Amino acid sequence: MTTVESADTGTVPDEIARKIVLPEGHTDDTTLYEAYRWLRENQPLAQVRVEGYDPLWLVTKHADLMEVEKQPDIFAAGGGEDKGSHNPILQNQAGDEFTKTLTGGSLRILDALPYLDPPEHTTIKDVAFDWFRPANLKKWEDQIRENAKAAVERLIAGPPELDAVQEFCVYFPLRVIMTLFGVPEEDEPRMFALTQDLFGVADPDAMRDDVEALSPEAAAQQFAAAVADFYAYFDVLVENRRAEPRDDLATLIAVAKDESGEYFPKTYAYGWFVAIATAGHDTTASTLAGCLHQLAERPDVLERVKNDLDLIPHLVNESLRIVSPVKQFTRVALRDYEMRGQQIKAGDRLMLLFQSGNRDAEVFDNPDTFDIDRRPNKHIAFGYGPHMCIGQHLAKLEMRVMLEELLPKLARVEVIGEPKLIQTNFVGGLRNLPVRLTLS
């Protein structure tokens, strides 16, 4: 067995480093979770070097993830004062070099929250922070429920055998997000395709026709192409909302102004729209699909929740923990820092492994077991600290409402084919889940 030297006296097996860093390592979650567990138990903080990638500290423990994320002044997303010097979304070195050719040397391809550091991050987050508070979202619950009812009615009217991901889970959160934006329903297929382009950058099944699939920079090419297409669409949306404001999220973002009373540059609005349209759609769809998969394997849990819908919030939380659709973000150390007795140097990159943290046995009893009775459930599926997902309450609301509408009508879920995962080391879950539904 070949090994990759870690930063201390130990070693990390090359197969484990590659399993976690490379997108293709994420197509088998059994071996992936085994790799996470090996690291937590043997090298919970280890620097690895995988060919074609920058050296990376693999951060696997729940406590360490929180320690990093609560200190953005030490562990920056976009490079701190040197804006755009760091890419919080892991690409290979060829991909980062390609991105620089498009931006004049910057790795900041989007003016979106994941790329920003305080104080800029705080300023831009405040544009829509209040909108995403539970008190404000409550007024949208009836509309979200109508979308859920329509989705369940279509499901019931269709054949009992289907791909739960491709024919059901992806459409409900997309409809919700696009409705909140005020995007017309006829444009939703375009938004869906672009979302798949953005998060399927490393998946051969989701590669665009205009990208050379086998090139080292293919993922970065597809990401950049999807961003450009999003920009073209959202530019029209921004201009429309500035000319004709409405009571919707798109208007709130489009008409936001800075301290001088001027509109923020449109690229910040694009960044908001891209982040919400993609993360707000794909992560919820992945969690819903993972939830259905768990209910198929545990019919007793399905029956129990059907008989007590007050358990649904716990079902949602455990689904978020077990799926953890945002697998990782990266950070860069702005100064030397000691963690677990090891010396992280200024300029070092860290890969924050949220899926691993959510299966940490020091925090979760029987972490690989799906258990809706976890109290409290301290998952960090939405991250932690300033970069904690602003849309977490919306995602939980969507999941809760959908399950309240769906589960009373569902007697049984059976998996009738091989589930397939998206090939990605960033955001994703099941690509396919063939099931047979038995209705109540």
Q: Are 39 and 18 in contact (CB under 8 A)?
A: no
User: Quick one: pLDDT at residue 1?
Assistant: 39
User: How far apart, in whole angstroms, are the C-alpha atoms of residue 224 and residue 109?
Assistant: 8
Q: Positive or negative, the Cα torsion across 236, 240, 242, 245?
A: negative
pLDDT tens per residue across all 440 residues of the chain: 344 444 443 589 999 999 999 999 999 999 999 999 999 999 999 999 999 999 999 999 999 999 999 999 999 999 999 999 999 999 999 999 988 998 899 999 999 999 999 999 999 999 999 999 999 999 999 999 999 999 999 999 999 999 999 999 988 998 898 888 877 888 888 877 777 766 655 555 555 455 455 566 777 787 788 888 888 888 988 999 999 999 889 999 999 999 999 999 999 998 998 888 777 778 899 999 999 999 999 999 999 999 999 999 999 999 999 999 999 999 999 999 999 999 999 999 999 999 999 999 999 999 999 999 999 999 999 999 999 999 999 999 999 999 999 999 999 999 999 999 999 999 999 999 999 999 98
For the four alpha carbons of 250, 252, 257 and 261, in that order, the dihedral sign comes to: positive
Contacts with 428 (C-beta within 8 Å, 6 or more apart), sequence order: 26, 199, 200, 282, 286, 325, 327, 421, 422
According to the model, what pLDDT value does residue 234 have? 86
Q: For CA atoms 201, 91, 350, 110, give the dihedral sign.
A: negative
CA distance 431 to 348: 33
DSSP per-residue string spanning 80-121: TTSTTSS-SS---HHHHHHHHHHHTS-S----SGGG--TTHH
Reading the block at residue 87, the tokens are 């890419």
Q: Which residues of 4-30 are buried (b: 16+ CB within 10 A; e: fewer)?
A: bebbeeebbbbbbbbbbbbbebbeeee
Q: Which CATH architecture has domain 3-439?
A: Orthogonal Bundle (1.10)
Cα torsion 406, 407, 409, 412: sign: positive
Q: Say which amino acid occupies 398.
A: E
Q: State the Cα–Cα distance between residues 1 and 18, nearest whole angstrom.
A: 13
In the chain, where the domains are located: 3-439
State residue 330's pLDDT score: 98
Whose CA is closest to 113, among 129, 103, 128, 124?
Answer: 124
pLDDT value of position 194:
75
**Max Cα-Cα span within the chain:** 63
Candidates 172, 138, 149; CA nearest to 287 is 172
| Identity of residue 179 | T
φ, ψ of residue 318 to 5 degrees: the values are -70, -35
